[in-house]
Amino acid sequence: MQRNEIFAAVRTAIRETSSDLAEADITETSSFQTLGFDSLKLVELGVRVENLFGEGVVLDDWVEQESQKGAQGFTMSSFLDFIERVAKK
């Protein structure tokens, strides 16, 4: 699956998780914080993404990775990188 296809699927999952983002401009530079995602919404998104890309895409692994980055973490780009990396296994 190409990155743009992954991005389109994740963007759809984000909009399904948070209906107030239906018309939002979600880009690779968007952060989940600016999109208004709290821990509950991240869990819901994680379930959707796991259903889309397989059980290898474990949100907790990405959250742990991003927590180490501090303010620079939790971006759409890093989430897509993570999905690309683990979905191929």
Distance CA 76, CA 10 (A): 9
* Total domains in the fold of the chain: 1
pLDDT tens digits for the chain (89 residues)? Answer: 899 999 999 999 999 999 999 999 999 999 999 999 999 999 999 999 999 999 889 999 999 999 998 878 899 999 999 999 998 76
**What's the domain range around 43?**
3-87
* pLDDT on residue 89: 61
Q: What is the CATH number of the domain that holds 63?
A: 1.10.1200
pTM of the model: 0.91
Distance CA 23, CA 39 (A): 22
Largest CA distance in the chain: 34
* pLDDT on residue 70: 80
Provide the 10 A C-beta neighbour count for residue 74.
22
